[in-house]
Amino acid sequence: MTDIKVIGILGAGRVGTALARRALAAGYEVRIASARAPSEIALMMDFVAPGAVPATTEQVIAESDMVLLALPLSKYRSLRPEAFAGKIAVDAMNYWPQTDGVLPEFEGAPVSSEVVADHLAGARLLRAFNHLGYHELDAEARPAGDPGRRALAIAGDDAAARADLAVVIDRMGFDPVDAGPLAQARAFAIGTPLFGAPLGRVEMQEALAGQQAA
């Protein structure tokens, strides 16, 4: 198990800044990059996620123990695979042709993360955070044991990386649920009953089992 201390976030939009707030609240150091220079997002971060350190994409990847991907899916090709060698990378991106436009390589792919994983070969790629709205990250975080605590699913082929992310998610205020290998992420993809549904840990486990059996 890796001792995660620094969380890196690529994308400083709605999802990226919400993840930054949760990670800071959980006691992690946070580095964050957008499409612009770090100096250009410094003021913004002071207000929306005070404490998160703006950096370049390269710095974020190099200096973090785990990198959360919260950029528009169409930008995934801008990520240099070599930079991710051996890194835990968590893909929060969704494929929404209605808003992103049609991206041919994602058409018909049951799990968009599999395409991202192929591109970032060498990364320990996980899928998480994609099945809830960004504002729910702020509004629905709860302490461990709270009966209303919401569950977040994790999929990925690297079991140790999944376990590391489970610790992070728990500290962020959600119940981690291990969905298994990356291919299982189809069970909580857009259009499934789990997507967007406010489920607790047990309900999530049951729903995943139901989807996976189907």
Ligand X SMILES: NC(=O)c1ccc[n+]([C@@H]2O[C@H](COP(=O)([O-])OP(=O)(O)OC[C@H]3O[C@@H](n4cnc5c(N)ncnc54)[C@H](OP(=O)(O)O)[C@@H]3O)[C@@H](O)[C@H]2O)c1
Binding site for ligand X (CB under 6 A): 10-16, 33-36, 57, 70-73, 75, 78, 92-94, 96, 130, 133-134
Q: How far apart are CA 165 and CA 176, in angstroms?
A: 8
Residue 85 or 190: the one with the smaller Cβ distance to another protein is 190
- Which string of DSSP letters, residue by residue, matches 24-84? HHTT-EEEEE-SS-HHHHHHHHHHHSTTPEE--HHHHHHH-SEEEE-S-GGGGGGS-GGGG
Closest approach of Cβ 17 to ligand X, in Å? Answer: 8
**CA–CA dist 161, 195 (Å, integer):** 23
The answer to the question of residue 152 lying near another protein (CB under 8 A) is no
Nearest CB to ligand X, comparing residues 71 and 165: 71
102, interface contact from ligand X, another protein, none, CB < 5-8 Å by kind: another protein
Dihedral pair phi/psi, residue 170, rounded to 5°: -60, -45
Contact with another protein (CB under 8 A) among 99, 143, 145, 147: 99
Bridge partners (DSSP) of residue 31 are: 8, 53
CA dihedral 135, 140, 142, 144 (to 10 degrees): -100
| Identity of the residue, 118 or 202, whose beta carbon is nearer to ligand X in the bound complex | 118
List contacts with another protein (CB under 8 A): 12-14, 17, 34, 36, 41, 43-44, 46-48, 74, 96-103, 133-136, 138-139, 190-191, 193, 195-198
